[in-house]
Structure 1
């Protein structure tokens, strides 16, 4: 039986600081990576993520889906032995109630047509 190679990943935050590196199995689900990021999020940083849906993980220009494994995400650098993969972490800002109301008010105006037939 073949031994599964672990993938070493570090997570780059927007300010340039890193979480990790840590080693993960290729069968690790992206959602569990996000849970680990939330658990290790620096306490001194403002606007930290609350749930995995508040985070986006980006690798090689692609946003990774929560329900896929690392192997299914086809990490291109994972094929290089001993390489550390850097994934970028993007935190979605929380929507306030005021912003949500504004979006609902603007939506009917965007779909209107200003054509006049004479």
Structure 2
């Protein structure tokens, strides 16, 4: 006897308001697999494109989803209502990494502050 996997239809809302999907995923699909699908289909014309799945955050029903969780584990009662679930995609800005590197180099150079007080 075969077990029927629950299918969820998911749309990913990108930061610019455009969408990827909707597409069907099984409840056993992990969040990291969803992020890999998003990376593969990311529009080339968008400026702030992620490099790895760690640059992405998926938000559903106000909660940030963890990479190692499955859709079944992340599913909330709110998700039972719509036929298509919309998950919001947040991209970690690359400037944060550069700012951290700059502040580390300033500390190594003697901690000179680059602040301007007006």
- Residue 77 of structure 1: how far off its partner (Å): 4.1
Instruction: Give 2:63's aligned residue.
Output: 62
When Rg is computed on C-alpha atoms for both structures, the one with the higher figure is 1
Q: Normalized per residue, which structure has more helix?
A: 2
1:37-76 superposed matches below 5 A: 37-76=38-77
Aligned counterparts of 1:77 and 1:98: Cα–Cα separation in 2: 38
Q: Could you tell me how far 1:53 is from its partner in structure 2?
A: 0.1
Distance in 2, matches of 1:41 and 1:83, equals 23
RMSD (CA atoms): 2.2
TM-score computed with the length of structure 1 as normaliser: 0.79
TM normalised by structure 2 equals 0.79
Gaps of 5+ in 1: 110-118
Match of residue 94 from structure 1: 94
Q: Report the CA distance shift for 1:2/1:39 in structure 2 as closer, same or farther (over 3 A).
A: same
**Which residue matches 1:10?**
11
1:70-101 CA-partner distances (Å, limit 9, x unpaired): 00112434434x71000000000114665114
Q: Which consecutive residues of structure 2, in runs of 5 or more, have no partner in the other structure?
A: 112-118
